[in-house]
Amino acid sequence: MTAALIWLIIGIGLMVAEVLSGDFVLLMLGAGALFGAGSAALSGNPFIDVGVFAVSSVGLLVLARPALKRKFLSGPGVKTNTEALVGAQAVVLSTVDPHGGQVKLAGDVWSARSFADGQVIQPGTSVTVVEISGATAVVSAEP
């Protein structure tokens, strides 16, 4: 097996392994191995190949990885799951009081209770979700 093919297999293997880690380290090392494969195909000198791998891997880890992490891993927070429902509008289906009730929220029927003690919200009223507590939407009639 030629050195270029070995470098190529290692590079692809590291990039595939990146799927499990998700930290962009193996991706950078895999790209460095691909550069090493290119060097092996052009030069055939194993010392040059290892040097190209080392320099490109370190360069990618120091320069490209931080930018990729900022962009993909710690970018602006996208709200998901119940976080995305806080602040959403819902419609009261059955009377909501501090002890219970039901609202239609995001196309689904949710158990609900009022945010303020003593507040009773009648069916048909539009409410705002203040928080999600377990499987219960805590709602308020005031926006």
pTM: 0.51
DSSP single-letter state for residue 79: P
Per-residue pLDDT tens listing for the chain (143 residues) = 688 888 888 888 888 888 887 778 888 999 999 999 999 999 889 999 999 999 999 999 999 888 888 777 655 666 667 788 888 899 999 999 999 999 999 889 999 999 988 889 999 999 999 999 888 999 998 75
How far CA 68 is from CA of 96, 103, 120, in Å, comes to 46, 41, 50
- Give the SS3 label for residue 8: helix
Q: What is the pLDDT of residue 97?
A: 92
Q: What is the pLDDT of residue 24?
A: 85
d(CA 115, CA 130): 7
